[in-house]
Amino acid sequence: MASESDERYREALKALEEVTGDVDGVQERVLAEILSTNANTEYLQRHGLAGKTDRRSFKSNVPVIHYEDILPDIRRIAYGDPSPIFSAKPISEFLISSGTSGGERKMIPVAADNSERIYQIRGVLLPAVLNKFVPGLNKGKALYFLFMKAETKSPAGIPMRPVLTSYYRSSQFLLHEYPSIPHTSPIASIFCTDVYQSMYSQMLLGLAYRLDILCIGAVFAPIFLRAMNFLEQNFHDLADDLEHGTVNARITDAAVRAALEAKLTSDPETAAHIRKECSTKNWQGIIRRIWPEARFLDVIVTGATAQYIPSLEFYSGGLPLASTGYASSESFFGINLNPLCKTEDIAYTIMPNIAYFEFQTYKSQENGGQGEEEEIELVDLANVEVGKEYELVVTTYSGLYRYKIGDILRVVRFYNKAPEFKFVGRKNVCLSLETDKVEEIELQNAIAIAESTHLTWRNTRVLQYSCYTDVKTVPGHYILYWELSSMNESENLPQKSIIEQCCLTIEESLNSVYRSMRAYYKNAGPLEIKIVKNGTFDELMENAIAKGSSADQYKPSRCVKSTAILELLDARVVSNCFSPGVPSWSPVPRHF
């Protein structure tokens, strides 16, 4: 007999066919709805829209913007100005993005109905699509490692929190998504902001119900790998609790303890299995041995997190890696309609009914450009072309108009009339472990500060540098390769303590998301500087020219992407140092 959720999935798939079959019509209606609802807002009036809801007026009056262009208005809201600046609906919260501006996290104002929009995609459509590929998914359990982050308030008392923290608190998640595919993680564990207790309790019940679990995952790959690492370090305690049906004394959060005590019973058989599997030296394929019914690993592995695919494949024992959704604090964008595909084929279909989307043609360096956008009229969602790259521009119900997200996407094919996009990358980002993003200019400024503080007066300069995100360590960390000017034939290196101070100064100068990962969440390790021999970067250039680069146009790559370059740099390292401290971080943005 068809269950209520089977019926809901059928309806969601039917709606998917309808909206992807009429992308342009849906987009036109979405834009008209956004503009008519928000017709009396200050922003639209300022740009002379005065109630006009057609595309032509919108495109000729409203400018394409970056976050910085609307920051003064965002600050007004944060300080308590109740006027309808962007949105006719009152702003209920700020979503704190991992994107940064001036070193601080962006604050995206949203209205209360934002969670409903997210739910329609990740709570209804996504499970319907997954259920198509894994029938009966809704009859089993899911182990998702989910975490809430610390939240603060703006000066006027408006809550400021990451989008997922906001969503997990919403009734859409708590009353509908969470129970529809029963999660093994208790709500109390997801709400617990102590990472150890939250992780321990989610893992404990994930092990207790291991034979019922059909799907296992986390939002992004690094947190999932952290869970694997946690299991390796804590399996003795976890197995003891499973054996006796007890809860370890380190779990002090009363709600978490109560949730665990309500679910756990003594299970010596499971405890013995976990001890046996986890104490073997070979962890390859361990996920299949612990969760034998799991059909796929649900984690995002595109963009910055693609670097974790080899580690995930090591643990997963051949389970598909399902990278299911593409979203940001500003808006949900799309989903992968073929979620069990190979990782190299992952593409996201932008949902035309969630926001209004435009695309600015982008010419990457590989395609003969300088990594820039073409200043021509923006292309609509229905009109993008296969093979071309674009920067995503979005107009949302909460009142962002023609706002550049900063992501570069390439069209790979169409589903009905809806384009499917490969995520190419974040514009100008050179270092990223997970949600953190360090742009080239930001790194350059941070190095300049370290250089002037610690090196210049010692007659030393950083001649050339490259950077690399090392995810082989747990947690991952940033590495900078430096060639210094003072190093003469006798390899007269500055003292180690001076380079260590450079590491810390750079960390202090990087954005708040990175500092929070170092100082609070502890999911980034100390920044490392590796000093390379004099002449190393010349050697890199000669190699590139020998392979066909034009000598005139050769630019050193700030960000090391090839294994050959990495190996060459590592072979030339004469010394290395790690940051000796932890950079400062406060949840309250510095501009308040």
Using CA of residue 277, residue 278, residue 284, residue 286, what is the dihedral sign? positive
Residue nearest ligand AMP, CB atom distance: 303
For ligand AMP, which is the closer residue by CB, 206 or 334?
Answer: 334
Within 419-458, which residues bind ligand AMP (CB under 6 A)?
423, 426, 435
For ligand AMP, which is the closer residue by CB, 94 or 200?
Answer: 94
- Counting residues that bind ligand AMP (by CB under 6 A) gives 17
Distance CA 218, CA 239 (A): 22
CB of 98 to ligand AMP, least distance (A): 3
Distance CA 140, CA 146 (A): 18
CB atoms near residue 362 (< 10 Å): 21
Q: How far is CA 317 from the centre of its chain?
A: 24
Burial 73-84 (b: 16+ CB within 10 A, else e): bbeebbeeeeeb
- Cα dist from 85 to 63, 419, 583, whole Å: 16, 33, 36
Kind and range of the H or E run holding 50: none
Draw the binding track, 340-379, toward ligand AMP (x: CB under 6 A; -: no contact). ----------------------------------------
Distance CA 482, CA 592 (A): 35
For ligand AMP, which is the closer residue by CB, 44 or 350?
Answer: 350
CB of 435 to ligand AMP, least distance (A): 5
- State yes or no: residue 511 binds ligand AMP (CB under 6 A): no
CB-based contacts of 337, cutoff 8 Å, min separation 6: 16, 129, 349, 415, 420
- State yes or no: residue 476 binds ligand AMP (CB under 6 A): no
For ligand AMP, which is the closer residue by CB, 310 or 580?
Answer: 310
Within 266-325, which residues bind ligand AMP (CB under 6 A)?
300, 302-303, 323
Annotate 574-588 with DSSP letters as a single string. EEEEE-SS-----SS
For ligand AMP, which is the closer residue by CB, 55 or 426?
Answer: 426
Out of 99, 103, 140, 217, the residue judged to bind ligand AMP by CB under 6 A:
99
Annotate 197-236 with DSSP letters as a single string. HHHHHHHHHHHHTGGGEEEEEEEEHHHHHHHHHHHHHHHH
Out of 27, 197, 329, 501, the residue judged to bind ligand AMP by CB under 6 A:
329
Within 394-423, which residues bind ligand AMP (CB under 6 A)?
405, 407, 423
Distance CA 529, CA 478 (A): 9
Distance CA 432, CA 469 (A): 6
For ligand AMP, which is the closer residue by CB, 95 or 124?
Answer: 95
Distance CA 561, CA 540 (A): 13
- Given the rule CB under 6 A, which of 7-15, 97-105, 135-143, 363-371 is the region that contacts ligand AMP? 97-105
CB of 188 to ligand AMP, least distance (A): 25
For ligand AMP, which is the closer residue by CB, 20 or 435?
Answer: 435
CB atoms near residue 69 (< 10 Å): 12
Within 160-179, which residues bind ligand AMP (CB under 6 A)?
163
For ligand AMP, which is the closer residue by CB, 189 or 329?
Answer: 329
Distance CA 102, CA 559 (A): 21
Alpha helices in 303-429 (DSSP H): 309-316
- State yes or no: residue 19 binds ligand AMP (CB under 6 A): no
Out of 184, 328, 396, 505, the residue judged to bind ligand AMP by CB under 6 A:
328
CB of 241 to ligand AMP, least distance (A): 34
For ligand AMP, which is the closer residue by CB, 219 or 450?
Answer: 219
Binding site for ligand AMP (CB under 6 A): 97-99, 163, 300, 302-303, 323, 326-329, 405, 407, 423, 426, 435
